[in-house]
């Protein structure tokens, strides 16, 4: 009986954290939309589009490497770096 209670509590905590993270990302996206529009309007040389394309290609190669069984680099990026809304604007500073 105790393990069932622990399992239910664990599932509840996991679902609650996923819900909070999802709402946080949605709110963050709503807040950063004007900033992204301004950045895209000011991007005369097409640097942001090139960086997005390069990032997509990098993600595809990492996904392919994982599928083929190669792990690549053992270093992991922090969670904050992965969800940062300004990660593609770092070269503009």
Question: Residue 16: how many CA atoms within 13 Å on its side-chain side?
Answer: 6
Q: List, for residues 39-59, the tens digit of each pLDDT value.
A: 889 988 888 888 889 989 998
| pLDDT over 70 (residue 26) | yes
Question: Which residue bears the tokens 């950063």?
Answer: 32
pLDDT of amino acid 47: 87
Are 10 and 2 within 8 A, CB to CB? no
In 43-78, which residue ranges form alpha helices assigned H by DSSP? 47-68
Residues 6+ positions from 49 with CB-CB distance below 8 Å: 43
**Whole-structure pTM over 0.85, yes or no?**
no
| pLDDT over 50 (residue 4) | yes
How large is the average pLDDT for residues 20-30? 95
Which tokens go with 49? 């589009």
pLDDT of amino acid 44: 82
Q: Domain limits of the chain?
A: 1-42, 45-93
Percent of the chain with pLDDT over 70: 72
pLDDT of amino acid 79: 47
């Amino acid at each position: 009986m105790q393990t069932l209670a622990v399992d239910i509590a664990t599932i509840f905590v996991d679902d609650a954290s996923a819900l909070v993270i999802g709402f946080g990302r949605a709110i963050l996206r709503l807040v950063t939309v004007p900033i992204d529009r301004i950045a895209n309007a000011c991007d005369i040389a097409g640097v942001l589009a090139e960086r997005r394309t390069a990032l997509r290609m990098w993600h595809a190669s990492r996904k392919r490497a994982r599928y083929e069984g190669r792990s690549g680099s053992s270093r992991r990026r922090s969670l904050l770096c992965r969800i940062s809304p300004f990660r593609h604007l770092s070269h503009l500073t």
